Each structure stands twice: as C-alpha cells, then as structure tokens.
Chain A
Amino acid sequence: MTDRFLVATRKGLFTVQRGERRLSPWSIVAEAFLGDNVSMVLPDPRDGSVWAALDHGHFGVKLHVSRDGGATWAEASAPAFPPKPEGKEEVEPAGQRPIPWTVLRIWSLEAGGDDDPDGLWCGTLPGGLFRSDDRGASWRLVRSLWDHPKRKEWFGGGAEFPGIHSILVEPGNSRRVTLGVSCGGVWVTEDQGGTWTCRADGMRAEYMPPERQFDPFIQDPHRVVQCPGDPKSLWAAHHNGVFRSTDGARSWQEITAQPSSFGFAVAVHPRRADTAWLVPAESDQRRIPFEGRVVVSRTRDGGKSFTVLSRGLPQRHAYDIAYRHALDIDSTGDHLALGSTTGNLWVTVDQGDTWQTVAEHLPPVYVVRWIGQRGGVAAGH
C-alpha cells in the first residue's frame, strides 16, 4: 500500500495518511519533533525503520531513529568528520571561507538495496559523504570522495558551503551509486564508494564565464532522480534548466520545459523513464511561481512536450516554491506528494491531473517521502 508519506519541515515531522472519507481523505495522523528543524527523513523500506535528521542550530546536527513506525524515537549515532589534520586548511572557492570539518546539515539519506542490506548513505553540507555498514550504528566519512582533488573545487550555491543532496543507489546493483552535488556536478561510483568519476558532460551553466560553462565540475544540479525500472535514465533539475541522461549519467541533454525550466524539484515515473514531473519557478532571478500560479509540469515523451497541470493548485497570488526534496512519487507511479516553502501540502492520485490540498499552514516543507518504497516496487509493509 502506498497510502502514507512523511513530511519533514522547518518545525517538525508529520505523517500523512489516506483515510476512508471520500472528500479530503488525506490527513496528518502523527507529528514528531515539533519546533525542531527536520532537514531530511528516510523511511527505510528494508525494515520499516524511519530516520530523521535534525538541525538544532545551537546544538548541531543529530540523527534519530524510530523502530515502531514513528511512535517512539531514539537518538542515534550521527555522521561526524574525523579530526581535521593539523595545517590542512581549505577554503570554499566562491566565498573563500575555511571549509569546516563539521557536519553542518544532513541533506540526503538513502538505504542500500537488498544486495546491501546493512548499508546507509548520508550526504551533508559542507560536502562530506558518509557511509554506514551497520544500519546506522556507526558512520565513516567516505575518504575517497572527500580527499578527491576535485571535491575541493566544489562551492556553495544557495548555502555557504557545497552539499550532497541526491544519493541514487541503483536498484539491483547497490555498488553503483550516483550523487548530485550543489555545486559540483554529478558523481558516480561503480564500487560502492571506492572510486568516483564526475559525470556531468552536457550540463551547461550559462551564468559561468564562457570557458567554464560546460565544465562538469562546476555544474549545479538542484536535484537528480533515477527511474527505478530503467536505472540508466536520470533527470536533473539544474540551476540552468532541466537535463536528462539515458546512459547512466555519461551524457546529459538539455530539456526546455514549460512554463519555465527553472526549479528545484523533479520526479520520474518508477517504470516509464520518459514520464517526469517538474515544479517550475519563474526564473533564477525571481523565485516565485510563474504569474503567481502554482503548477506542475509533466512530460510523457522524455521532455519533447510538457503538460502544465494546475487543477486543485492555487492559481492566484500564490508564491509557493518547492524545495528540491519536496516532490515525491510513489511506487505505483500515480501518486505524488508536493510540499511548499509556504507550508502548503498537496497530493495527486492521478499523476498530477488533479491535486488535493492536505494542509495549508505547515512550516516550510523541506522533504516529502512516501513510505514503503523499494526500488519502484512497494515493500511489503
């Protein structure tokens, strides 16, 4: 069943469930961490545990886990950098600020597949990737990436420091993992993190000097998603527009979306790689919905054409933006959840043709995630 999803917000974590009522059937059935900044959430399909990353500001970044579906929570071991070597000073290239060896935000959390039953991955600001081999009992910094000379060229986009926001574990081959980095391109490992290759050929950054526009290492994919049924098919909402790959990130093709190509969130159908959804904003310079109308753009032909979907979404004086993790699709490919910066939450059960409002006054929504998803197939919970 794909009738439940989690909503991580600036001030708490919420569980939404579909009920019996025909009208407004979706409702919030549980909340946790009220008042706390929940930067990421992972419902692990392998054992039903739920991981929540908190950013307390004063008290730092923490990780909590629930083993009973969210009824009770316990603080778990959080990813942490090893001691910084003496004299090893690095600065972030754009702002020239020293890069701290401290976890500033947990920005992505993913579980390994069935062939990696105890593996967890965690992406952070300022750009550290962490790996757990024991389901979160302990974490280690993935040194092969942190020590990569090109990692030191990553720079911050909207944040002061770079961050890893997308971790795509390939269904059926957990040794192949793809990362999206703002700003630092797309990185792929074929050996579970032993070695890494930047794969952003074809991505373009118009805002950079001409000689750097196609430099794969400076690209700013806002979010990268993978089609579980066709893992070589990837979609990226990029600072410069929309890009698609059909060869496992070896090459990327630019897509022109409607009504604009600028946005943060993207979702791809679990089996039909040509079908994807975007939440467009007007432009980089004006990050509001086009003409104050919240819409979702859907393509079913790989980006050749788009249908602009608006039924059930606010169409007048609406200034909601969807953060990069605030759009998610379930394993049926019919249900999507969408949360906004101004605390609206919508669900569709017909691939976006119509949307139902679940909540209108939530804190800013960072993440929505369906529960019970495993590589595009609903897990048996």
Chain B
Amino acid sequence: MPIVSFTPNIQRHVSCPPTGVKGDTVRQALDAAFRGNPRARAYVLDEQGAVRPHMVVFVDGRQVRDRQNLSDPVPRDGEIYVAQALSGG
C-alpha cells in the first residue's frame, strides 16, 4: 500500500500524519489521503486540483511531472512525499 507523508513545515498549520492509501496514480493517492483530512487538501492543492506553485510532490524520490492532473503512476508500495520548494525570504 502506498504511503503519503508530508513536510514537517505543514504541520504547524494542519496536522498531516503519514497515511497508507489506495491508489494507482498520485491523484488517487492524494484524494485518498485528503478524504480523511479535507483541510490539508487546500494547503497542497489549489482549488482547481493542481499542485500549488511552490509545493513539490515526489514519488519514490522523483518529482512528479504532471502537476495539473497528477496522473503520474504510483507503485504498489510507493512512497509519496509532499514537500515545499524553497522560496521567499
């Protein structure tokens, strides 16, 4: 079962413990993770469902390519990591 984990920086705003999910794509996996934590969804995705501009999603250490539709595949025991890109000051 894929595992979704989140950057520690998001935890200051909304609790996001690592979650085991079902899903063959990043979209399915994140939808499953946010189903039990709807407030977290808006911290990672915008209202059109795309990854926020300064957020990054990795699958097994590789950045996902499709930030709009999240169609990148997720292996059966894949690890999805939601991080933030560095920006600002």
A contact residues vs B (CB 8 Å cutoff): 56-60, 62, 75, 78, 80-84, 100-103
Question: Which secondary structure dominates where chain B touches chain A?
Answer: loop
| Closest A residue by C-beta to B85 | A58
CA of A103 to CA of B54, assembled, Å:
15
| Closest A residue by C-beta to B10 | A59
Q: How many A-B residue pairs have CB under 8 A?
A: 45
Contact of A78 with B84 in the complex, beta carbons under 8 Å? no
Contact of B47 with A102 in the complex, beta carbons under 8 Å? yes
Contact of B10 with A75 in the complex, beta carbons under 8 Å? no
Contact of B88 with A57 in the complex, beta carbons under 8 Å? yes
List, in ascending order, chain A residues with CB within 8 A of B42's CB.
Answer: 60, 62, 78, 80
B contact residues vs A (CB 8 Å cutoff): 9-10, 13-14, 39, 42-44, 46-48, 52, 54-55, 84-85, 87-88
Contact of A103 with B87 in the complex, beta carbons under 8 Å? no
Identify which of B47, B48, B52 contacts A59 (C-beta below 8 A): B52
Identify which of B43, B48, B87, B88 contacts A83 (C-beta below 8 A): B48
Q: Which 7 A-B pairs give the minimum distances between C-beta atoms?
A: A80-B47, A59-B43, A102-B46, A58-B84, A58-B54, A81-B47, A57-B88
CA of A101 to CA of B50, assembled, Å:
11
List, in ascending order, chain B residues with CB within 8 A of A78's CB.
Answer: 42
List, in ascending order, chain A residues with CB within 8 A of B87's CB.
Answer: 57-58
List, in ascending order, chain A residues with CB within 8 A of B47's CB.
Answer: 80-83, 101-103
Question: Which secondary structure dominates where chain A touches chain B?
Answer: loop
| Closest A residue by C-beta to B46 | A102
List, in ascending order, chain B residues with CB within 8 A of A102's CB.
Answer: 46-48
| Closest A residue by C-beta to B49 | A83
Q: With A57-B88, A103-B47 given, is the CB distance from A75 to B55 under 8 Å?
A: no
Q: With A57-B54, A57-B87 given, is the CB distance from A101 to B43 under 8 Å?
A: no
List, in ascending order, chain B residues with CB within 8 A of A103's CB.
Answer: 47
| Closest B residue by C-beta to A61 | B42
Q: With A58-B55, A58-B84, A60-B43 given, is the CB distance from A81 to B48 under 8 Å?
A: yes
Identify which of B9, B52, B85, B88 contacts A60 (C-beta below 8 A): B52
Whole-angstrom distance between the Cβ of B27 and the nearest chain A Cβ: 15
Contact of A59 with B13 in the complex, beta carbons under 8 Å? yes
Whole-angstrom distance between the Cβ of B59 and the nearest chain A Cβ: 19
Whole-angstrom distance between the Cβ of B51 and the nearest chain A Cβ: 11
List, in ascending order, chain A residues with CB within 8 A of B46's CB.
Answer: 60, 100, 102
List, in ascending order, chain A residues with CB within 8 A of B48's CB.
Answer: 81, 83-84, 100-102
Whole-angstrom distance between the Cβ of B17 and the nearest chain A Cβ: 17
List, in ascending order, chain A residues with CB within 8 A of B88's CB.
Answer: 57
Whole-angstrom distance between the Cβ of B72 and the nearest chain A Cβ: 20
| Closest B residue by C-beta to A56 | B13
| Closest A residue by C-beta to B42 | A60
List, in ascending order, chain B residues with CB within 8 A of A82's CB.
Answer: 47
CA of A62 to CA of B44, assembled, Å:
12
CA of A60 to CA of B43, assembled, Å:
6
List, in ascending order, chain B residues with CB within 8 A of A80's CB.
Answer: 42, 47
Please name 14 further chain A to chain B contacts, defined as beta carbons within 8 Å, in addition to the given A59-B43, A75-B39, A81-B48, sorted by A numbering.
Answer: A56-B13, A58-B9, A58-B55, A58-B85, A59-B10, A59-B44, A59-B52, A59-B55, A60-B43, A60-B46, A62-B13, A80-B47, A100-B48, A103-B47
Whole-angstrom distance between the Cβ of A342 and the nearest chain B Cβ: 16
List, in ascending order, chain B residues with CB within 8 A of A60's CB.
Answer: 42-43, 46, 52
CA of A371 to CA of B43, assembled, Å:
30
Of A56, A82, A83, A100, the most chain B CB neighbours within 10 A belong to A56
